[in-house]
């Protein structure tokens, strides 16, 4: 077993085709097939089922692939740490994040690269569940999500970054703008605006908690596109449920057009922005340095 075999194994699991893996690695199909067969022989287990439609990991194959991903990530971290110790700051950082932090992470990346010009940062924008899965599977070095303090996945390390508040975000011309706080009764009885939501399980759960069935029917749009959602609030006089730091991260000229209103029922809940990493795996020094740099912006 060697590093190349493990990389082929992971590639086959992701692409589901010896042909595609051969193209990716500029090898022949028989060479990829032989590599997998040798690995199966060494481990004495069938890793994939083969058919004309492609190759699919067996139950044992999925387990081996997870271990292979972890081994390859560990090797990458070793290379990065050696580079740091030699003062050759280069490497890759993969960050999975919910949409609200994308602009801050990108801005932080541009500043970070002034000090570390050979570090490549890849940002993957996902919903909460997908962020956690990216980190758990080893495809991302760390992730950022916004959740309460309960029911955390025990396979991950959870580091609270900052406490956040769930708010209603409305256009500055909305009649609701005069409320510093708003209760559930006020939302039900006084709200005339359409509701738009980001397609995130956590925010959708809050909407289900807040809105009775008759009001839930007024949800006009659920989208993965944060820009479209913001334009609906700014131009169509819609409202949305969001976290306060998302609004704070907007450019000043857009932030001035939005008013945030605390929701009484959610004001006292312990809701945090978290950094998540894989449990029992030391973060590369470069990842920790990037995180510290980002925290300065968030604070």
- What does the pLDDT average to over 207-224? 72
Q: Is the dihedral of CA 26, 27, 29, 34 positive or negative?
A: negative
- What does the pLDDT average to over 245-252? 76
pLDDT given at position 276 = 92
Kindly report which listed range (1-5, 129-133, 274-278, 292-296) carries the lowest average pLDDT score.
292-296
- Model confidence band, residue 247 (pLDDT cutoffs 50, 70, 90): confident
- Model confidence band, residue 213 (pLDDT cutoffs 50, 70, 90): low
Distance between CA atoms of 171 and 268, rounded to whole angstroms?
24
Tell whether the model's pLDDT for residue 96 goes beyond 90. yes
Structure tokens at 114: 């002034």
CATH number assigned to the domain with residue range 88-163+272-298, chosen from the 4 options 1.10.569.10, 3.40.50.1110, 1.20.210.10, 3.40.190.10 = 3.40.190.10
Domain 164-267 grouped into CATH 3.30.1330.10: no
Q: Report residue 17: phi and psi, to 5°.
A: -160, 125
- The three-state secondary structure class of 148 is strand
- What does the pLDDT average to over 194-219? 73
Residue limits of CATH 3.40.190.290 in the chain:
164-267
Structure tokens at 148: 């309460």
8 A C-beta contact, residue 136 and residue 156: yes
Q: Which residue has the tokens 């479209």?
A: 228
Distance between CA atoms of 50 and 164, rounded to whole angstroms?
49
Note the Cα 280 to chain centre separation in Å.
20
* Structure confidence by residue, pLDDT tens digits, 61-92: 899 999 999 888 888 877 776 665 555 456 78
Structure tokens at 91: 């490497």
pTM, 2 dp: 0.59
pLDDT given at position 191 = 66
- Model confidence band, residue 269 (pLDDT cutoffs 50, 70, 90): low
- What does the pLDDT average to over 245-255? 77
- Model confidence band, residue 46 (pLDDT cutoffs 50, 70, 90): very high
- Model confidence band, residue 58 (pLDDT cutoffs 50, 70, 90): very high
pLDDT given at position 103 = 75
For the residues of 53-111, what is the DSSP string, one character each? TEEEE-HHHHHHHHHHHHHHHHHHHHHHHHHHHTT--EEEEEEEE-GGGHHHHHHHHHH
Nearest to 155 by CA among 177, 130, 137, 176: 137
Architecture of the domain made up of 3-67: Orthogonal Bundle (1.10)
Percentage of the chain lying above the pLDDT 90 cut: 10
Distance between CA atoms of 145 and 152, rounded to whole angstroms?
11
Distance between CA atoms of 262 and 165, rounded to whole angstroms?
8
8 A C-beta contact, residue 202 and residue 147: yes
Residue limits of CATH 1.10.10.10 in the chain:
3-67
């Amino acid at each position: 077993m060697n590093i190349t075999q493990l990389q082929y194994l992971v590639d086959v699991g992701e692409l589901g085709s010896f042909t595609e893996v051969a193209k990716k690695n500029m090898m022949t199909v028989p060479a990829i097939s032989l590599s997998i067969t040798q690995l199966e022989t060494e481990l004495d287990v069938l890793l994939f089922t083969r058919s004309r439609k492609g190759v699919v990991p067996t139950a044992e194959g999925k387990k081996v692939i997870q271990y292979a991903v972890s081994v390859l990530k560990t090797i990458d971290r070793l290379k990065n740490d050696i580079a740091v110790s030699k003062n050759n700051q280069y490497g890759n950082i993969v960050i999975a994040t919910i949409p609200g932090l994308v602009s801050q992470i990108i801005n932080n990346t541009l500043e970070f690269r002034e000090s570390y010009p050979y570090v490549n940062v890849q940002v993957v924008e996902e919903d909460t569940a997908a962020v956690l899965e990216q980190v758990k599977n080893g495809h991302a070095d760390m992730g950022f999500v916004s959740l309460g303090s309960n029911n955390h996945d025990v396979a991950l390390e959870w580091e609270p970054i900052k406490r956040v508040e769930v708010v209603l975000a409305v256009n500055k011309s909305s009649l609701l703008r005069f409320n510093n706080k708003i209760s559930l009764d006020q939302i039900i009885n006084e709200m005339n605006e359409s509701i738009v939501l980001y397609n995130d399980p956590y925010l959708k759960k809050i909407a289900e908690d807040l809105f009775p069935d008759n009001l839930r029917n007024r949800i006009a749009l659920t989208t993965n596109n944060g820009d479209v959602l913001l334009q609906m609030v700014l131009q169509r006089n819609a409202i949305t449920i969001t976290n306060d730091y998302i609004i704070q991260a907007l450019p000043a000229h857009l932030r001035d057009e939005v008013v945030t209103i605390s929701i009484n029922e959610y004001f006292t809940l312990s809701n945090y922005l978290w950094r998540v990493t894989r449990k029992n795996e030391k973060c590369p020094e470069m990842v920790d340095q990037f995180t510290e740099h980002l925290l300065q912006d968030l604070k």
